Structure 1
């Protein structure tokens, strides 16, 4: 896709995007990539809270040197279309970790789109995405893993789970694997479900009010996305930002 023109739904990476919001962003926004180069043996961690009442597009190109590590942890709670794009290239023995949460109601689309390229042997990657939506909100995860022919001993995983709190909400997961090496481990999983009403009833029967019961169940559900984040303060900030989206929601 050339950024000289706006994408369309025929572009795989934009299949579920809010195209009206993309048009409001304009073609200039599509070229605004942030480039991060992580030197051999070095480590980078980014924690982000994204989303507002206007469309947002956050795009990153990350190149990892030999044995380098990069981790992104993101809470996406946009009130309008909010998208985070990650393009990752891994050298030998490098590791990439991604934990993301999309959460919210209204009619907004919130999405993560990742492309992880295992260019050399012995690299690993892990992506954990959780989506919680209500109203007519939508949570998307489009994740592509590419393994080069000589990138043996690759170990790559994706895990997407969505929790829909109302019937009008939706979630889309599109895992894509392009593997040319033969000695690899590549796994992906995707599930979409509803809140465990039995668990909520159990908590309410023991004196927990409905809003608190719901918050605790959602917190347990989304916590997996940030379990690999060692910084406890940052982890709590990301969780609180996600859970604050529940406040005032009539569910």
Structure 2
């Protein structure tokens, strides 16, 4: 069968804002399987940055099963490639926890996105997803997040929080949070907002002697920092933040 016939289209919800034309020749069925045993804690990080090993299209698809009382933490910075997508399907068993902290940054015509499906299949599991996007030029940042809570998954506590910052006209960010809940004793929340740089804050900082470039960098750093709050490794957090800030500094 020709590869083109297997490509997704933007009519599919999970690919609505994607650069599907860049998927030609990609292994769409290549999923990474991650199984976390009961009671264990696993942390995964992914950084897509400028470098000789970064391809024009970076497609990462992960299936994660989190056992009873186990924890999965995932932190990612998507800052390079013409099109980069991290897609994560998570299944949470009783008392399990899933934490996602994600950052997309980029300009030109790039598309960088997180796509998640979090399935609560048993009681008392929790999940928290925090994604921040900063884009300029004609860059696009996307977050499509689906939370499914089955009928027996009582005491579920799930949250998604997305914020986008547009540094120039022409850039865009898209958020599609979705909840499908069949249990009745749950806490599920999602929020999404998009805005521009706070000019009052920039004026305040300039009035105290900060240069425009430094003021912008500090405001961007504060904005992105929310996505990495749950990362308790200081060195890893600083390194990931540096990748994101370097991308902004080089472009503007």
Contact 2:48 2:81 in 1 (8 A): no
Contact 1:79 1:104 in 2 (8 A): no
- Write the deviation string for residues 87-116 of structure 1: whole angstroms up to 9, x where unpaired: 000000000000000011111010000000
Q: Shift of the alpha carbon at 1:248? A: 2.5
Unaligned residue ranges in structure 1 (runs of 5+): none
2:212: which partner in 1?
210
2:120: which partner in 1?
118
- Write the deviation string for residues 137-170 of structure 1: whole angstroms up to 9, x where unpaired: 0000000000011000000000000000011000
Find the residue that maps to 1:32 and give its secondary structure.
coil
2:33: which partner in 1?
35
Among candidates 24, 36, 47, match of residue 45 of structure 2: 47
Q: Shift of the alpha carbon at 1:53? A: 5.5
Contact 1:79 1:106 in 2 (8 A): no
2:85: which partner in 1?
83
Among candidates 135, 138, 142, match of residue 136 of structure 1: 138
1:230: which partner in 2?
232
Aligned residues between the structures = 245
Q: Shift of the alpha carbon at 1:79? A: 3.6
Find the residue that maps to 1:103 and give its secondary structure.
strand
Contact 1:200 1:213 in 2 (8 A): yes
Q: Report 1:1-251 matches (<5 A).
A: 5-23=6-24, 26=25, 28-51=26-49, 52=54, 54-250=56-252
Find the residue that maps to 1:247 and give its secondary structure.
helix
TM-score (structure 1 length as normaliser): 0.95
- Write the deviation string for residues 18-45 of structure 1: whole angstroms up to 9, x where unpaired: 022122xx2x521111111000000000
Output the aligned Cα RMSD. Answer: 1.2
Once the two structures are overlaid, the 10-residue window that deviates more, 241-250 or 157-166, is: 241-250
Contact 1:55 1:81 in 2 (8 A): yes
Find the residue that maps to 1:71 and give its secondary structure.
strand
Q: Shift of the alpha carbon at 1:211? A: 1.0
Find the residue that maps to 2:250 and give its secondary structure.
coil
Q: Shift of the alpha carbon at 1:121? A: 0.3
What is the alpha-carbon distance in structure 2 between the residues aligned to residue 22 and residue 49 of structure 1? Answer: 20
What is the alpha-carbon distance in structure 2 between the residues aligned to residue 124 and residue 89 of structure 1? Answer: 11
Contact 2:61 2:87 in 1 (8 A): yes
Find the residue that maps to 2:108 and give its secondary structure.
coil
Contact 1:58 1:84 in 2 (8 A): yes
What is the alpha-carbon distance in structure 1 between the residues aligned to residue 44 and residue 20 of structure 2? Answer: 28
Q: Shift of the alpha carbon at 1:60? A: 0.6
Contact 2:58 2:81 in 1 (8 A): no
Unaligned residue ranges in structure 2 (runs of 5+): none
